Each structure stands twice: as structure tokens, then as C-alpha cells.
Amino acid sequence: MGKSTKTQNLREKMRTSVKNSQQTTLESLHDSRKKAFSEKVVPESKKQIIVTEIVTFAKEDELALKVGFRLLPSKVAFSKVSLDLFFDGQKISCTCVSIPQGPLLGNAFELTPVLEMKGIPAGSHIIGVEMYELWSTGERFCRVTEEVSVDYVPITRAEKFVMVPIVKSVAGRDLEVVSESEKDIYREIEDAEKREVISKRDEW
């Protein structure tokens, strides 16, 4: 009898030990999962255009710009973006560019406008940049503005002064500038798609 009772006591101790061990393991696993969940960071998916830099390079009767920008969360979220240039508060150009979707390209791009400065008086001038995504409704989304001050000293003396420069060209590394005729085609396609959606909605 004594031996049987001793064996039963040992078995009970083993069961209790295993049960406590399993409970501790499950609680630890639960706590680790809870901690991992609480520390999990939800990625930001909001679309943004961030102007990363505006650099100016003065040449003879010209002012070259380099406008760097980044697209968030990635370039895939954009098909076209627009760039408006301002000189001392006056709008001087509007450029639309197509965003390439190649797998080897990143999410950072740059545009390089060149301004014809002949006739611009010497002094401090403000170059403004506005970037946005233009929808077919005419609304501007992801709008961002930045500006820099430029101390301009003309190399040649002008016979007469002008208030604003002429934008001679706008180029972009890995970007395709949309021409005015292409803009019209895009508008026609978007208008046709809009009319089709409206007609289908009326049929429903």
C-alpha cells in the first residue's frame, strides 16, 4: 500500500509540473504575440508629393533650376503630376509630366526648367514651385508649394527691363513632359470616360 501511494503522489506531482509548464508556455506565447501586435507599425498609405530641393544655377542671361521631388507611398500611386513655376509671385509656366512605372526606377525624380532672364533687373527674386496631381474634375490633389530666394546679377546690360522671365525649356530625368496637344488628348479621353460613366449610371 505504501509503495502504491508513493507512486500515485509522484504521478500527481508530474501532472502538476507538466500542467504548470504548459500554462507558462502558453502565457508567454500569448504575451509575446500581444507585444508584437502592439508594436506593429501600420504603414502610411496617404499619397504625397514632397519637394526635396530647389537648386539654381546662374548662366549668361539664363537661370537654370533643378527641382527634386519624391512621390509617396510610391510612384505607382501617380500617373501624371503638374509643376507650376512662379517668379516674384507671378505664374510663368505650367508643366505636366508623365510618371514612368519601370521596375528599375525609384520614387525620386527631378525637373530642370531653364528661364530666359534677359531684361530682368538685378536684385533678390523669389522663385516659387507648386506641384500637384490634377484630376479630370479640375481639382488639385497632393498640392505642395516651396520657394527660394535668388540674388540675380545680370551679366549683360539690358536696353529695357521686363517683369518676368520666359521659360525656355523644361526637361526631366526619366520623365516625359506632356505637350499641350497631348494634354488635350488626355482631356478628351477623360471627358469621354466621364460621359460613359454618367450614361451607364443613368441606365441603372
- Looking at the structure, tell me whether residues 110 and 133 fall in a common domain: yes
**201 part of a folded domain:** no
Interval 164-190: pLDDT, tens: 999 999 988 778 887 654 555 445 545
Place 41 in a pLDDT band, splitting at 50, 70 and 90: very low
- Looking at the structure, tell me whether residues 57 and 120 fall in a common domain: yes
> In the chain, how many domains are there?
2
Range of the domain at 36: 1-40
pLDDT for 78: 93
- Looking at the structure, tell me whether residues 71 and 136 fall in a common domain: yes
Across the range 89-117, mean pLDDT stands at 92
**77 part of a folded domain:** yes
- Looking at the structure, tell me whether residues 35 and 54 fall in a common domain: no
- Looking at the structure, tell me whether residues 87 and 167 fall in a common domain: yes
At residue 159, does pLDDT exceed 90? no
- Looking at the structure, tell me whether residues 36 and 52 fall in a common domain: no
pLDDT for 178: 77
Q: pTM, whole model, 2 decimals?
A: 0.66
- Looking at the structure, tell me whether residues 97 and 147 fall in a common domain: yes
How many CB atoms sit inside 10 A of residue 125's CB?
19
CATH of residue 73: 2.60.40.10
- Looking at the structure, tell me whether residues 126 and 60 fall in a common domain: yes
**202 part of a folded domain:** no
**30 part of a folded domain:** yes
Place 146 in a pLDDT band, splitting at 50, 70 and 90: very high
- Looking at the structure, tell me whether residues 165 and 185 fall in a common domain: yes
- Looking at the structure, tell me whether residues 123 and 177 fall in a common domain: yes
